[in-house]
Amino acid sequence: MSIRLPAGRHLPASIDILISFRYVAGMVLNNLFPVFALLLFGHLLKRVGLTHDAFLKTADKLIYYIFFPALLFWKIGAAASDQVGDPGLYKAAICAVISVYVFSSLYIKVFSVPAYQAGSFSQSCYRFNTYIGMAVILNALGEDGARQFSILIGLIIPIINILAVTTLSWYSEKKVPLLQRMRLTAKALISNPLIIACLAGIAYWKLIGGFPVFIDNTFGLASFVTLPLALFSIGGTLTLGGMKNHLKLSLVACVFKLILLPIIGYLFLKIFNATGISFMVGMIYFALPTSTALYILSSQLSSDTQLASAVIALSTILSFISLSVALLI
């Protein structure tokens, strides 16, 4: 119910502040609390022994290879012709990621980051957690936002993988020949189920578009499993064990990922005139914590896995702040 005041009269400043506070609190809690509550629940389940490493490993495989690719294929394939988003969003994301990659590389050189940590540090500055991103965007922006984010995933992951593998190979303690680097990069692109799902979704959308009701309902039912299981899995694998010995570099990586990337991304979104839902998708994307895939690639190419674990945990915790700001811009 609106409050009508006589002409020339205004609400007291204290009431204005209260209304603003309630709006901000509602926006943050409604969109972020469910996501972080499931992360915390997943962590607590692991702590009390109701889940274990074998279960979490299996759950992660199911999410990565089946459920989340199916979700991406469904969201993109079902898009209408006017729901693919503003091209400015995709241009801004690519430019922002490459910019932060360059800045992180300069930091490695200027501050002499040890070679065995350089690869993990670099990719932690621009990799993003797709599961948390999809959960927040579905809560905040609905189906249209989820479709645009799905397309963004398909466009940006190949670029991120090329940058990550290149840097990890360059600084790896193992001497990685050029041909092997190229094979690793090609494998990271060709075998990535998220990229495959996005490309398949785009092809289906172009050639056919839309799904019969029974197929649509099947995908919808499967989607109820995907994000809760993904968030439980992330929460269960979070560990602060390596934080003590890697706090400084972890914090620097979080500054790059959760502060510098959103600022640069915001500027590029403005430069490319992204507006509406596309702008919000971009801001949420830039504010996401780093990806758990950071640990896997670091392990494969002999980079610092403890640093990777520390940044994953710290950025996930701190992303509540960056995502709150992104939602309110």
In CATH, what is the architecture of 16-328? Up-down Bundle (1.20)
The pLDDT, as a whole number, for residue 2 is 45
What are the backbone dihedrals phi and psi of residue 253, each rounded to the nearest 5 degrees, phi first?
-60, -40
Rounded Cα distance, 31 and 33, in Å? 6
What's the pTM value of the predicted model, to 2 decimals?
A: 0.87
**Residues in Cβ contact with 264 at an 8 Å cutoff, skipping those fewer than 6 apart:** 96, 99, 100, 286
The pLDDT, as a whole number, for residue 134 is 95
Q: Give residue-wise pLDDT tens across range 256-277.
A: 999 999 999 999 999 999 999 9
Mean pLDDT of 69-90: 84
Q: Report which of 111, 141, 156, 113 is spatially closest to residue 276, judged by C-alpha positions.
A: 141
Residue 182 Cα distances to 41, 83, 133, 157, angstroms: 40, 35, 29, 16
Categorize the per-residue pLDDT at 12 as very low, low, confident or very high, splitting at 50, 70 and 90: low
Both tokens of 299, joined, read 């392990």
Q: Give residue-wise pLDDT tens across range 56-73.
A: 989 988 999 999 999 999
Q: Report which of 316, 328, 250, 293 is spatially closest to residue 38, judged by C-alpha positions.
A: 316
The pLDDT, as a whole number, for residue 14 is 61
Domain map (residue ranges) of the chain: 16-328
